Amino acid sequence: MSLLHPVRIQLLSQRLSNQIAAGEVVERPASVVKELLENSLDAQADRIEIDLEQGGIKLIRVRDNGVGVDKDDLPLALSRHATSKISTLDDLEKIVSLGFRGEALASISSVSRLCFISRTQPADAAWQVETEGRDMVSTISPAAHPAGTCVEVRDLFFNTPARRKFLRTEQTEFQRIEDIVKRLALSRYDVGFVLQHNQRVIHRYDKALSDAEKQRRVAQVCGPAFVENSVFINFERNGFKLWGWVSQPTFSRSQADLQYFYVNGRVIRDKLVSHAIKQAYRDVLFHGRHPAFVLYLELNATLVDVNVHPTKHEVRFRDSRLVHDFLFSALHRALAEVRPQDRLDKNLPDDNQPFMENSASTGTFNGQERMPLYSPGTLSYPSGQQHSNASAMQIRNQLASYDSFRTSPGTPLPESPADIPPLGYAIAQLHGIYILAQNAQGLIVIDMHAAHERITYEHMKTAAESDGIRAQPLLVPLAVAVSESEADCAESCQEQLAELGLRVERMGPELLSIRQIPVILKNANSEQLLRDVLSDIAEHGTSDRIEAKRDELLSTMACHGSVRANRQLTIPEMNSLLRDMEHTERSGQCNHGRPTWVLLSVADLDRMFLRGQ
């Protein structure tokens, strides 16, 4: 039998330590660009230029006009755990800078040929330090450079060929860098960025200080279609502030590729944030689609821990439930308040131009006399869902000025589009499915069943919310076998479960007993419902399972209780539906996320028929 020799412990060399650290920080050229750009931003630069060759594999050069690094600190800047951004444990508890670990430059220099040139604002000359990953020996010499810093990284992974083999094509690596630059360009509107690849300028983002300039930069990064189909929000409560742009549900994506979320200026990916946003879009987004957003959360630095991952992409909130509820309520309210007028305002014609030229100036439509514009009337709602008298009275008062037009069909429409309701007036019904209406911009096509379904659904939700969650005790309590962690969660969240209509008692280390459930979910799988609720609470600090199940049931009831296809509506009934849509939350989508109406502007129709060409 051979003897086992004890394992000896030895210190790693500086070179090997840095290369191991590089494996955490420097995955590819994009990782290098991210670290260097964050250093420039922390150095208070307001102009940053990025030059690349061969997707950053051959050369990465980042030049800024920041405060610079003192000559005596240059060698130290390339050492591990050397930083100017924190000095005490208290600083670590409230990090406001993008970088703070002090590993980036050391890690980068260990796998590349690095040249670091810097000049402080009061200094007469610049100095540079050069290293090669081979020996990590640095040399300092004078250099010509304006105030600020320039970092050149050449031949990335030249001394670690195994890592270099994992890099993708030049174009793929460049696209990853492009994504990094876009994310940071959205985080700092007060900084100008220039991105150049193979001696060609790809992106130039000028400083954006005004609201219009900020919106222009968002359009540059995310595309003008996103800005045109988004809602700007600015919401503050309890020390939290959320602002930015969220897409309207009709502007959704097949992938989650247009989503930018920032916490105190740092771009992050967080499950809690994703869950809150997904929950806010729950019953307005079509199945399998993803929202687009550029959002900024601002809160006290002591309430968020950014020191949880080497790449700093993840954070941990001190009170995750409070943050989740704040994000959900802000976004849920913003999406609910979108009305047809908000979507149409951007396409409103000039008040100085005649309204609906070529057709609206006369009392005829395609050679036929116009139908009456509006007559008071209401649609019949399902049992128990009566149309609001106050709402009907408001609509009648709002449109009272148009009574003279009803009595004289040949009278011209109002000249100003401001006098026309957002969804206009019904002119016909098509195949018993669609309502055709004329508004200030052109032709509105409405799916009458989908629209009425949303109106009915919102009425039913309002009624259910006013009654609260009613619960009923079970005649025979239901025993549920769970894990010990699930039982612990249920025991510590008794009050939260009670708010959801659930009363649960712990009967043993891994056994729970359900004694009360919400009335509206009496036919649901109570055991699975409890497991899902506990899972949500454990991960996000809150759960919307009960509300989601309730809304799913109400949605089904609304669907069956709404007007069906092939039902012939009168013009007053059609107009009543249009007015209700204008005053109903989320009326742009049915309960399943499909659009309820679309606009064909006069310009769209002119293009279709080649008018003016």
Give the CATH number, domain containing residue 435. Answer: 3.30.1540.20
Q: Is residue 4 part of a domain?
A: no
Identify the band that residue 82 occupies on the pLDDT scale cut at 50, 70 and 90: low
Q: Is residue 613 part of a domain?
A: no
**Pick from 337, 340, 335: nearest CA to 424:** 340
Q: Could you tell me if 578 and 435 are in contact, meaning their C-beta atoms sit under 8 angstroms apart?
A: yes
For residues 381 and 435, the model is more confident at 435
Check pLDDT > 90 for residue 353.
no
Identify the band that residue 221 occupies on the pLDDT scale cut at 50, 70 and 90: very high
Check pLDDT > 70 for residue 377.
no
**For residue range 513-542, what is the model confidence (pLDDT) as tens digits?**
999 988 878 878 889 889 989 988 888 788
What is the token pair recorded at 558? 């609304």
333 and 412 together in one domain: no
Q: Could you tell me if 418 and 355 are in contact, meaning their C-beta atoms sit under 8 angstroms apart?
A: no
163 and 266 together in one domain: no
Identify the band that residue 425 occupies on the pLDDT scale cut at 50, 70 and 90: very high
128 and 21 together in one domain: yes
Q: Where are the alpha helices (DSSP H) in 440-483?
A: 448-467
Strand, helix or coil at 545? helix
Check pLDDT > 80 for residue 208.
yes
Q: Is residue 20 part of a domain?
A: yes
Residue count (the chain): 613
Q: Could you tell me if 563 and 452 are in contact, meaning their C-beta atoms sit under 8 angstroms apart?
A: yes
DSSP 394-438: HHHHHTGGGHHHHH-TTSPPPSSGGGS-TT-EEEEEETTTEEEEE
Check pLDDT > 90 for residue 560.
no
467 secondary structure, DSSP code = H
What is the separation of C-alpha 303 from the centre of its chain, rounded to a whole number of angstroms?
21
Query: What pLDDT was estimated at residue 404?
Result: 31
**For residue range 223-241, what is the model confidence (pLDDT) as tens digits?**
999 999 899 999 999 999 9
What is the token pair recorded at 327? 């994000």
Check pLDDT > 80 for residue 219.
yes
| H-run or E-run covering 204 | strand 200-205
Amino acid of residue 526: S
Tell me which of 287, 303, 338 is where a domain ends: 338
Average pLDDT rounded to a whole number, residues 24-45: 90
Q: Could you tell me if 233 and 334 are in contact, meaning their C-beta atoms sit under 8 angstroms apart?
A: yes
Identify the band that residue 350 occupies on the pLDDT scale cut at 50, 70 and 90: very low
CA atoms of 486 and 345, how far apart (whole Å): 50
Burial class of residue 230 in the structure, from the number of CB atoms within 10 Å of its CB (0-12 exposed, 13-18 middle, 19+ buried): buried
548 and 572 together in one domain: no
Identify the band that residue 280 occupies on the pLDDT scale cut at 50, 70 and 90: very high
Q: Where are the alpha helices (DSSP H) in 112-169?
A: 161-164
Q: Is residue 384 part of a domain?
A: yes
37 and 142 together in one domain: yes
CA atoms of 126 and 141, how far apart (whole Å): 9
**For residue range 244-268, what is the model confidence (pLDDT) as tens digits?**
999 988 888 999 999 999 999 999 9
Q: Is residue 125 part of a domain?
A: yes
Q: Is residue 87 part of a domain?
A: yes
CA angle 477, 482, 484 (to 5 degrees): 125
254 and 373 together in one domain: no
Torsion, Cα of 286, 290, 294, 300 (10° steps): 100
> How is the beta sheet containing 597-601 ordered, strand by strand?
425-430, 434-438, 442-447, 597-601
Check pLDDT > 80 for residue 598.
yes
380 and 409 together in one domain: yes
Residue 539: domain span: 471-559
**What's 287's domain CATH number?**
3.30.230.10
What is the separation of C-alpha 526 from the centre of its chain, rounded to a whole number of angstroms?
33
Query: What pLDDT was estimated at residue 339?
Result: 85
With pLDDT > 90 as the criterion, what percentage of the chain qualifies?
Answer: 48
Amino acid of residue 6: P
What is the sign of the dihedral through the CA atoms of 571, 574, 579 and 582? Answer: negative
**Pick from 609, 607, 598, 229: nearest CA to 444:** 598
545 and 477 together in one domain: yes
195 and 217 together in one domain: no
187 and 261 together in one domain: no
Structural domain total, the chain? 4
Range in 14-23, 202-211, 577-586, 588-597 the model is least confident about? 14-23
Q: Is residue 343 part of a domain?
A: no
Query: What pLDDT was estimated at residue 396?
Result: 38
CA atoms of 230 and 492, how far apart (whole Å): 40
Tell me which of 163, 182, 205 is where a domain ends: 205
CA atoms of 587 and 240, how far apart (whole Å): 29
529 and 433 together in one domain: no
CA atoms of 411 and 123, how far apart (whole Å): 79
What are the distances in angstroms from CA 261 to CA 286, 302, 347, 394, 535?
22, 19, 29, 40, 24
CA atoms of 108 and 77, how far apart (whole Å): 12
Check pLDDT > 90 for residue 106.
no
CA atoms of 596 and 125, how far apart (whole Å): 66
Query: What pLDDT was estimated at residue 235?
Result: 95
Q: Is residue 9 part of a domain?
A: no
Amino acid of residue 298: E
**What's 20's domain CATH number?**
3.30.565.10
Check pLDDT > 90 for residue 97.
no
39 and 65 together in one domain: yes
**Pick from 433, 438, 440, 524: nearest CA to 478:** 524
Query: What pLDDT was estimated at residue 114?
Result: 92
Q: Could you tell me if 262 and 304 are in contact, meaning their C-beta atoms sit under 8 angstroms apart?
A: no
Amino acid of residue 572: P
**What's 547's domain CATH number?**
3.30.1370.100
Q: Could you tell me if 529 and 501 are in contact, meaning their C-beta atoms sit under 8 angstroms apart?
A: no
- Report the first-to-last Cα separation within the chain, whole angstroms: 95
Q: Which residue has the tokens 């959704």?
A: 252
Identify the band that residue 347 occupies on the pLDDT scale cut at 50, 70 and 90: low
Query: What pLDDT was estimated at residue 343?
Result: 78
Average pLDDT, the chain: 82
Average pLDDT rounded to a whole number, residues 583-593: 89
Return the half-sphere exposure (C-beta side, CA atoms, 13 A cut-off) of residue 152.
Answer: 13
Query: What pLDDT was estimated at residue 135?
Result: 57
Tell me which of 559, 582, 600 is where a domain ends: 559
**Pick from 63, 44, 53, 67: nearest CA to 117:** 63
